[in-house]
Structure formats: structure tokens, C-alpha cells
Amino acid sequence: MADELGSIVVAVDGTSGSGKSSTCRGVAERLGLRYLDTGAMFRAMTWWMLEQGVDVHDAAAVAARVDEPVLASGTDPTGPTIAVDGVDVSAPIRTDDVNRAVSPVSTVPEVRARLLDLQRQIIAPTGGHAGGIVVEGRDIGSVVWPQAEVKVYLTADPAARAARRALEEGGSDVADTEAVLRERDRIDSGRATAPLVQADGAVHLDTTHHTLDEVIGLLVALVEQSLEPAR
């Protein structure tokens, strides 16, 4: 299947907690594709800013240092990695401090421009990377790679998303988690640069009443359908 898919790009956008990461990793693994979590890149940038003592609410201060950290994203869906200056930050980027700071950092245009360039380098088959890729984020189909062969927009009811996220975080308060997710939605959808939107041509999939395996199956089917004209 991977050979048949060639350099296909599957762009998956959507709200926080809608199941993007688990779904995309499952689809990539099932189809033998690479995987990129662009959200982890924004989190890694945020983690670095916090470590350096940069005021994440000062856009000018963030912009002034955006070119300093060296980010490296692994694309193996069975064990994706993210490193900053050679240090694995897969765990630190999931802390509450980063959760609270990632939205203001992500709205800084210079941050988005820097990471957009890195994302396109990883996605492009001309960048020395073999095979297709499943990419998740909030502006993949609309900004990062609008020419993607398959575009999907994942959503879920806020209460369902909060319950999932709280479970992932080991029993966080569901009400507090839902409030954080709703605020993240507001910021992501309202920012001036690359807001969260359903990209033109994207298939909207509400995951509220689906299991993870069902959602993975639906996306795999969409990818397989995209090959039909070529067969």
C-alpha cells in the first residue's frame, strides 16, 4: 500500500481533543506512511521560550528569539519524537505550563512563519524524505499544504473532547479541561494568522460517537478512495 500511495499527503486539521494525534498515528501506521504532529512543534517552541525566560505574552519578545532554537521532528508513527537543540522534549511539552502558554506563542506570526517553513521541508518529497505522510494540525489543509490529496477536518463535542483529554492526562478535572479547550478553540479560530478553519475540499468528521478504531478506518477508507481515479 505504501508504494501505491507514493508521496501522498493526508492533511488532518481540527479542534483540540478531537482525536487527531491518535487517529493520525493509527492511519499512518496502517498505511505505512510517515507522520508529523505540527502541534508538537508549536509546543516545543513554547517550551523553549519558557525555558529561556521569555515572556510568552509579549509577541515582540517571542518574535525576537524565534530563530534561535533548533527543532527536529521524528516521523515514525510508532514512536514520534520532538527534540529542541538535541534534547528530547516529548514529555516536557505536555506539561500544564506549556498547555497554558502554547496559544499565545502560536499566535505570533514569526513563530508560524518559522514553523511553516520547517513543516513544508518535512512534508516535501524533494526534501530527501521517502514516502507519503499524514500531517495533523490546525492549518495544514488551508495554509501549510493546501494541495494535499486528502483533507480531513476532525471535531467532537466539547464535553467529549474534555473527557478524552482528562483521561489522557491521568484524571484531570473534566470541567476545567473543557474550559481550557473552549478557550483554545476561541484563540485558534480568532487569530489573524492562519486561523483554525475547515479547508476547502476537506471532509468534516465528527468523532464524538465513534471509537478510535472506527475513525482510523474512516480515514483509511478516504485515503483509499483518493486512489481510485489513478487505478
Q: Tell me the domains of the chain and their CATH numbers.
A: 2-220 (3.40.50.300)
* Model pLDDT, residue 158: 82
User: Mean of the pLDDT values across residues 8-25?
Assistant: 90
- Cα separation of 140 and 202, whole Å? 11
CA 11 to each of CA 90, 154, 158, 186, 194: distance values in angstroms, whole numbers, following the listed order? 22, 11, 22, 22, 15
Which DSSP helix (H) or strand (E) runs through 203?
Answer: strand 203-206
* Model pLDDT, residue 18: 82
- Residue carrying the nine cell digits 519524537: 81
Helix boundaries (H) for 70-129: 96-106, 109-123
At 79, is the secondary structure helix, strand, or coil?
A: coil
Q: Is the confidence at residue 118, as pLDDT, over 60?
A: yes
CA 70 to each of CA 6, 7, 96, 118: distance values in angstroms, whole numbers, following the listed order? 29, 26, 23, 10
- Cα separation of 222 and 216, whole Å? 10
* pTM (2 d.p.): 0.86
- Cα separation of 166 and 177, whole Å? 7
Cβ(75)–Cβ(33) below 8 Å: no
* Model pLDDT, residue 169: 67
Q: Cell numbers for 200, please give them.
A: 476547502
Cβ(135)–Cβ(36) below 8 Å: yes
* Model pLDDT, residue 156: 85
